[in-house]
Each structure stands twice: as C-alpha cells, then as structure tokens.
Structure 1
Amino acid sequence: MTGHPEAAAGSDDGDIAVERPSGPYRSANRTALTDVTGRPAGELSLAPPLLIRQVINEMRAAPEQPAADRLAALARAGELFATATLDGETPDAYCHRQALVSGLPVSVARRTLAKVARAGRAAAETLAAQRPAGAVPLDALPATGRPDTGAVPVWVRKGDVLGVLAPGNHPATHLEWLSALALGYRVAVRPSRRDPFTPRRLVRALRGAGLAPGYTALLPTTHEHADAVVEHADRGLVYGGDAVVDRYAGSRRVLAQGPGRSKILLTGDVSWQDHLDTIADSVAGDAGVQCLNASAVLCEQDPRGLAAALAERLAGLPSLPAGHPEAALPVRPLDEARQLARQVYEAVGAHLATGPGAPGEPITDLGDGSAVLRPVITLLDGPGHPHFGTELPFPYAAVAPWRPGLRPDGIGRTLALTVLGGDPGLVRQCLASPLIRNTHWGGVPTYWSRPGLPHDGSPAEFLMETKTFATDSTEPVTR
C-alpha cells in the first residue's frame, strides 16, 4: 500500500482522494476520470483492500458522538452542501462537474442541492418517524448508573459500520446513507466512477458541519476490490441490476437495491388524455434514470393511443449536452450510446410506438464524442410480455392493456405505483400487495418522495432492531 496523506481535503479540482477519519489520502494507484466526451476530468485514488480494512477499523475505534450533536451536524451539512464553497468547490462547480462526468442534465444536480438541504433539516423528524412507537433509543438511557426503566423495548443498531457500494445513476440516492448517520452508524462509501463528486461533497459538508470525522469515509476502489467495503463492515448497502440483487438475496447483513420497475395504472373510469402530463413526467422526469421513474404503463382504455401520444410528447424533449441548463435527457460516450441503442432496438424494435431517429440508433450524436439517449416507448400485449419489466438508463416505458380481472400482484415487483382511477378497493389491494412497495393515488408522479417517508422500506428496518431491557428498580420480577 503506497500513497501519501494530505494536510487539507483538497482543492477545486476533479481529483478524488480517499477520505479517511485521519484525513485525505491520495493513493499511488489511481485511475483517470473522463467526462462523457472522453476529455480528462481528474483522477480517482484507488484504495487497496488493506487500506479499506484499516480505514474501517479506524472508524470502529473512533469515539462516539452524541445523537443530538450528530443530528445538528446533519442539519448544518445539508445547508453547506447546497450553498457553501467546500474546499474550493462552489455549488455551481459541483453541479457542472457532476453533470459532465455522469452525463445527467445539470438540472438534476441542482435539484439535488435542495433535496440534501431538505433532508438535513428533516433528519431529526425522520429519525423519530422511523423509531417504533414506545421504543426507547439506546442514547436515551443514562450512560452511567442504573436506569429506572422497569421493562422497556430498546431500539439499538445491528452493528456499528455500514458499507455502501454507491450507484452513479442519480445523486439523490446518497440520501439513503445519510439516514444511517442519523441512526448512529459510521458509513464507508465506495463511490461510483460515474459520480464520485456527490459523496465527496457530502463528506466535506458533514465534516465542515461538525460531524465527527470517524463517522464517514470515502473509499474509491476497483470493481474487483469493492466487496471489501461490505465484507469489513457490519452491514452493507449495495446497488445494481438483477445480478447484484440475486447475488445478495440470501444475505441477512447486506441489503441490495435493484431495478425499481415502477409503474402507472389507468383504470377504465379515467381518460389518459387528462393525465398525460403526469405519465410523461413519471417516465422522463430527472432524465428517466431513477428507479422511481415509470418503466411501464397499464391502460384500460386505448393503450395504443396512449403509447403514440406519449412517444410524441417525449419526442419533443431537446437533445442537448449535459451541462446545458435546458438539458433533459442523459448523455453517454458515443460508442457506449450506440451499443446500448443497438441492443435496445434489437430487443424491442418490433414493438416501438414510434420509430427511432435513425435506423437502429434512437440516439442523437452531439458531435463531441458523446450522444444523447432518446426516449423509447413500446406497445406490448400485456404485463406477461418478457419486455414488460425492462428498465433502462434513459426514459423508457412499455405500454400495455390493463384488464379489470388482473389483480395488482399480476404486474410484478413494483417500487412505486401511481394509480389513476377512482376504485378505492383496487387501491387498497395495491397497498396490501407484498410486491408493491409504494402506492400513489391520483396525479402523483411515481418518483415523488419526501423526507421521512419510506423508499424501499425505511433504512431503520434493515439497520435497527428492538430488544427487551428489564430492571428490578420499579417492580418485582415475577414468573
């Protein structure tokens, strides 16, 4: 293991160092970061497995910080992330750097500034909402002396360190591990090479806000060594496709977040013409890259007409570079975009609701080495079609007919379902279905969320547990 520590967190550049409790560490083993045009955008220090283990051990050994101080730091950190110049990086510089490397429209990063600020302000409220009614936080018990509690359920962590293998599809996914900090976990994040800038800025903001340095670490590393972050932690949070979800399906200590396959359902008592704005926004909002974006629409009346109208509406989205203020679609390196477009066209070309811009290539070449991924809408014969559950890294949706006899479980696993229709019984079935995680009724986009509400369940369901704590201080112990 070679490299050198640095006295300061860095400067306003694209180089990403390892951030350990003792300070930044720039490894001798680095890899180049490039933007979507192929131009250099900085370097990423790569932590070897030995360093990963050492950093996590440092985190375990670091002193605890009182809950009130952590929550106050989270609130301040949200504001710093959104408004402050952190180690030379302004909010505007962060947004543009994040956009040019990830390929997401710069407006996505700008909205994330506000989301992080809002989540920081709501940290204490979110923590209280997740705690089971009647449970006593461990922090609420006196650190010394015998508590006068009688018998109570106590809410405790299942470990001390959470290892996160972060995705690069959307910067707001990092809000999940901020919740873990509120719960008292120390969090070690392995950033995606498509977006190392969001977690770096979060770590800088948290430390600048007064969170003890032992609570966060940024551990860039190779794909080969990424598992070390999860292996040495007590709990793991990983993101990926179906293969990743299947890999960790049997693990009780690793939570795998996979494709959302979010959907919209229109019943026969509503007209899709009245809801086209909500449908289009659900499919293409924030460039259509979130697990909460709708990737399927079930329509009881005239699904063919809906598919054509939706395709026409989304065809009007501009093809612009990611850094343009009016950009609305994701951008990828040209060769990568062409390969993805060919795969999509070969798979669903026969079902396109409208033809692509060029034969076999539903993309727009920007002429600078990058290309915009254009929306694709397909028309299928029902939710049983093999492409109905497809989820892609750009605005894509399969439109299929909904038949009243089909029950909610028949549409498959769904992270968020927006029901456009007036049947309370159907909505109740959707809420009760174990395959549907979140249900919206009426004109609520599938991607809508608010601090304190569950995403795919709440982090506390995975990270915390209640235990019985009984003393004989207030009543005799009897059989």
Structure 2
Amino acid sequence: MLPVVSSGETETARTMLFEAIDGEPLYEVARTPHVTVHDAVSTAREDGFDALQALPVGTLLDRIATAGQLFVDEGAPAASSTTFCVPFDRYQRSVVKATGLPAGWVRTSAHWLAFGLRHAAESLRAQSPTGALDVYDDPAYTRETDVGLAFTPRVRVLGGMMPSNDPAVYAWPALALAMKIPIVLRPSDRDPLTAIRLARALRGAGVPESAVHVLPGDRSIGETVCRETDHAMTFGTEDAVGSFRTEPSVETYGPGQSIAVLARKPTEQELDSLARGVLRSAGRACYCLTRIVATGECNGDVLAKRLARRVTELSGPTYGSLIDEQATVPGFAPDTAEQVTNAIRRIPGQDVTAAYCEQRLVERDGIARLRPTVFRTDTLVPELPFQFAGVTNRESDAVVPPDGAYLAVVVGSDDLERTLVRSPAIANVYGGRYPASVDLRETHETYLTSFLYRTTTYDPS
C-alpha cells in the first residue's frame, strides 16, 4: 500500500489497484479524501512555514543534502525515521513497470535528483538577490550602500500537481523546500513512488514533517491542491495544464515544444548533440527536441536524413527489455501506443527513419515499443510522448514557433540567437549545442524565487 504522507503516513479506506503498462497488478495506492487536502494545506501554511523559518538555512540545506543521499541509498533506513524505504533497485523496477521509462534513464534521473538536493545551496545562491545564502535567514540587505531592501516570502505554501514523465522533475519542489517554503504535492497515479520515496527521505533526514505532504488521489485532488495553496505548479500536456493557463497563482509547465534552428549544415559533433536532444529522457521531457527547423544555408532534406541516421545509431537496440540498463526506448501499454501511432499517421510528411529501421511499432510480452522517429514535414509537428522530431524548412524571420518553446538551440547564426533570446515565446536559448544536462542554477522557464519571493523596501530603525 502506498500511503498518504501528511502528519505521518496514513492508509485510507478508499484505494486504487494500479496496473503496470503490461497489465500486471503493480501496487495499491491510497485515495486522499478532499478534507485531507484542506488539513494538509493548513498544516503546511502554519506549522510547516514556521518550522522552516526557524531553521538556519545552512542546517536545512544539510538535511536536504542528506535526503538526496537517502533517496538513492539501497534501502538503508533514515536515522530518525521508523519507515524503511524499499531498496533502490526495487523502486527503479517499479517505476519502469509503471511508466515505461527505461531502467537506465530512471537510474540516471534519480541520481540527478539526488545530486540536485546535495547541491541545493548552489541553486539558492543563483536565485539570491545578493548571491549569498544569508538572505534566506535574515531578509534585509542594502543596494547602492544606502537603499534598504528585504527579500521576503511571497507565499507560505507551494502546491504541485506532478507528472510521471521523469523523476528528476521533483527537484523543483525540493528546492522550494530548501527556500523555506512548505510543499503539498499530488503525484501522478502513474508514478506516486517517486514522491513518496522523496517525502520519506526528506522527513527521515530531519526536514519538518509539517512542511512535506504527498497526497495521492484522482485529478480533482490535484486541482484542489493547486487552488487551495498560495501558489502552485502543474505539469503535463495541454489537456492537463490548459485549465490553469489563465490563473496567475498557478505556474504551468508543458508541453515543452522545444526547438532547434539551424542556419547552416551542422558539424558531426553538433549533429550528435541534436540527436541526443531527440532521444533524451526517453523523449518525454519538456526539454527534448521535437521541432528541428532548417533555414538559411541549411538544407532540410539533407538534415532530416543525417539526423534520422544518427538517431537510429544512438538509440541502439530498440526492442530489448526495459529492465536492461542499456535500454533507451520507452514502453507503452498497447492501447496507448496505438493512440500515439494514430497521431503520427495524421502528420503530413515522410518518416525518414523508415529507411534505417523498417518497423516502428513492436509489441512483446504485453508491452509496445515505438522506435525513435524523425519526420520530414512542412509543418511544425506536435509533441508526442516518445523519441520523435520533425524537420521543417522556414525562413529566418519565421522560426519562432507561435505557441512558444521551453528550449531553443541555435546553430550557425548569432542574429537568430539574439532574436530568440529577445522573444517572450522562448524560455531558454543555447547557442551551438543542445545542453548535456539541466543545470538547477539556471531557470526552468523562470526562477522559483520569481513567484515564491519578492523584494520589498525595508528601512530599519
């Protein structure tokens, strides 16, 4: 039984038996009553906020760093907790079965999350107005030697309706906790395991229990969390986040629609970088490249063929076991794979990868696999939950996608780099390369402090 984590761990009368993508029973998970959401938010806003504010930031960061290590430990209990976490390999296997993410990526992502917790101090410094940590304890500081200011919390509790596409996404609410803001999270039903494991690690490391709440339940629980907390984050497809787009107290993340723009023929190293951007995180993260735009001296037909060949080479064996640490291609329940395949059929254009790997969809042992796919098309392709990209030709003055992008890579044009940097539609711009990793010192569309903190005037006596 996966419990509600709020003022201890609680099993509920109403539960849900969840199945793996192959249809096998996987785990039973509690259903949080709506009244518990109200209680958890109230506890976090009052007791949780006060408990975090009373902790020196250095002490809190040490505890969060310990939690990062506990998260990836092979089943050792936290020193101050009576709850044993399951061994890491069992957690990893369960996430693979529940989500279809390859085992190697689950391990990589979990360790990246742990690394982010261990190095949370660097992320907090990057978001501090002074570059130092002391403002999280004593908010007063001066600018221009005589302007008195204060860096103060804007909210007392952060909510989150979390996705299942990547365990590392939990780094962002964990960093909010490091900034002394309590968290109330509704995990995805597809992966409540990561949220519960993280909560146990945080509480076991000595982070106040009143500041950490995980409330599994149906989507309405997540919507209540988002609307009852002072500010919230929600992730997912347009269907998942669209209803919150106009709510100023909810940050929406996704779909990423990340893009690469090439103004000349890419070098072999640059092509490798782009191919890894298509394959990264099993193609399911907001920063995976989906739209590849050829402009200027870059020939779209040639680029599509080169990219398709490199994506096929780098993806390796396509249909092996998801539990194999070397696997790179995600799995799906057969009905989900068919829905994705139908979406592909509606895209006008040519599957260029068909020349290198004939069969796109393979089903074995109740699990469907979709090989990485590169399309040559005249339209900007939609984002799909696997390793998929479309190569399109566009004029240089029309490369900014109308619906924006989380991440843009620009190859071969300083002017285009500046154009995209100045565009309010683009969140992050990388010149000449796809980033090898996501750096928590950088923005994720924006800094957490942009909505968790504010700068006020403070002229002390």
> How does the TM-score come out when normalised to structure 1?
0.86
Aligned residue among 8, 18, 34 for 1:33: 18
Structure 2 CA distance for aligned equivalents of residues 304 and 434 of structure 1: 30
Offset of 1:204 from its aligned partner?
1.0
Offset of 1:273 from its aligned partner?
4.7
Partner of residue 392, structure 1: 384
Partner of residue 166, structure 2: 170
Structure 1 CA distance for aligned equivalents of residues 116 and 312 of structure 2: 34
Partner of residue 257, structure 1: 253
Once the two structures are superposed, the pairs formed by residues 211-226 of structure 1 within 5 Å of their partners are: 211-226=207-222
330-339 vs 34-43, greater mean Cα deviation: 330-339
Offset of 1:354 from its aligned partner?
4.1
Aligned residue among 392, 415, 423 for 1:425: 415
The higher radius of gyration belongs to: 1
Q: CA contact under 8 A between 2:261 and 2:408: conserved in structure 1?
A: yes
Structure 2 CA distance for aligned equivalents of residues 141 and 172 of structure 1: 30
Q: CA contact under 8 A between 1:69 and 1:211: conserved in structure 2?
A: no
Q: CA contact under 8 A between 1:275 and 1:443: conserved in structure 2?
A: yes
Offset of 1:88 from its aligned partner?
4.2
Partner of residue 203, structure 1: 199
> How does the TM-score come out when normalised to structure 2?
0.89
1:414 aligns with 2:405: yes
Change (3 A) 1:70 1:340: same
SS at match of 1:140: coil
SS at match of 2:221: coil
Partner of residue 351, structure 2: 352
Letter of the 2:431 counterpart: W
Aligned residue among 2, 8, 16 for 2:2: 16
Offset of 1:196 from its aligned partner?
1.0
Aligned residue among 26, 39, 43 for 1:54: 39
1:72 aligns with 2:62: yes
Once the two structures are superposed, the pairs formed by residues 314-463 of structure 1 within 5 Å of their partners are: 314-316=311-313, 317=315, 318-345=318-345, 347-348=346-347, 350-355=349-354, 362-366=360-364, 368-381=365-378, 385=379, 388-404=380-396, 406=397, 408-409=399-400, 412-421=403-412, 423-445=413-435, 448-463=437-452
Aligned residue among 270, 273, 278 for 1:283: 278
Offset of 1:90 from its aligned partner?
1.6
Once the two structures are superposed, the pairs formed by residues 236-247 of structure 1 within 5 Å of their partners are: 236-247=232-243
Once the two structures are superposed, the pairs formed by residues 50-199 of structure 1 within 5 Å of their partners are: 50-62=35-47, 63-65=50-52, 66=55, 67-85=57-75, 86=77, 87-133=84-130, 137=135, 139-140=137-138, 152-199=148-195
Once the two structures are superposed, the pairs formed by residues 282-321 of structure 1 within 5 Å of their partners are: 282-300=277-295, 301-316=298-313, 317=315, 318-321=318-321
Offset of 1:341 from its aligned partner?
1.1
Offset of 1:373 from its aligned partner?
2.2
Change (3 A) 1:350 1:18: same
Where does the alignment leave 5 or more consecutive residues of structure 2 unmatched? 78-83
How high is the sequence identity, in percent, across the aligned residues? Answer: 27
Change (3 A) 1:336 1:249: closer
Q: CA contact under 8 A between 1:356 and 1:362: conserved in structure 2?
A: no
Structure 2 CA distance for aligned equivalents of residues 414 and 206 of structure 1: 33
Structure 2 CA distance for aligned equivalents of residues 434 and 88 of structure 1: 43
Structure 2 CA distance for aligned equivalents of residues 249 and 108 of structure 1: 30
Aligned residues: 439
Change (3 A) 1:397 1:120: same
SS at match of 1:397: strand
Q: CA contact under 8 A between 1:357 and 1:363: conserved in structure 2?
A: no
186-195 vs 331-340, greater mean Cα deviation: 331-340
Offset of 1:389 from its aligned partner?
4.5
Letter of the 1:401 counterpart: N
Q: CA contact under 8 A between 1:337 and 1:373: conserved in structure 2?
A: yes
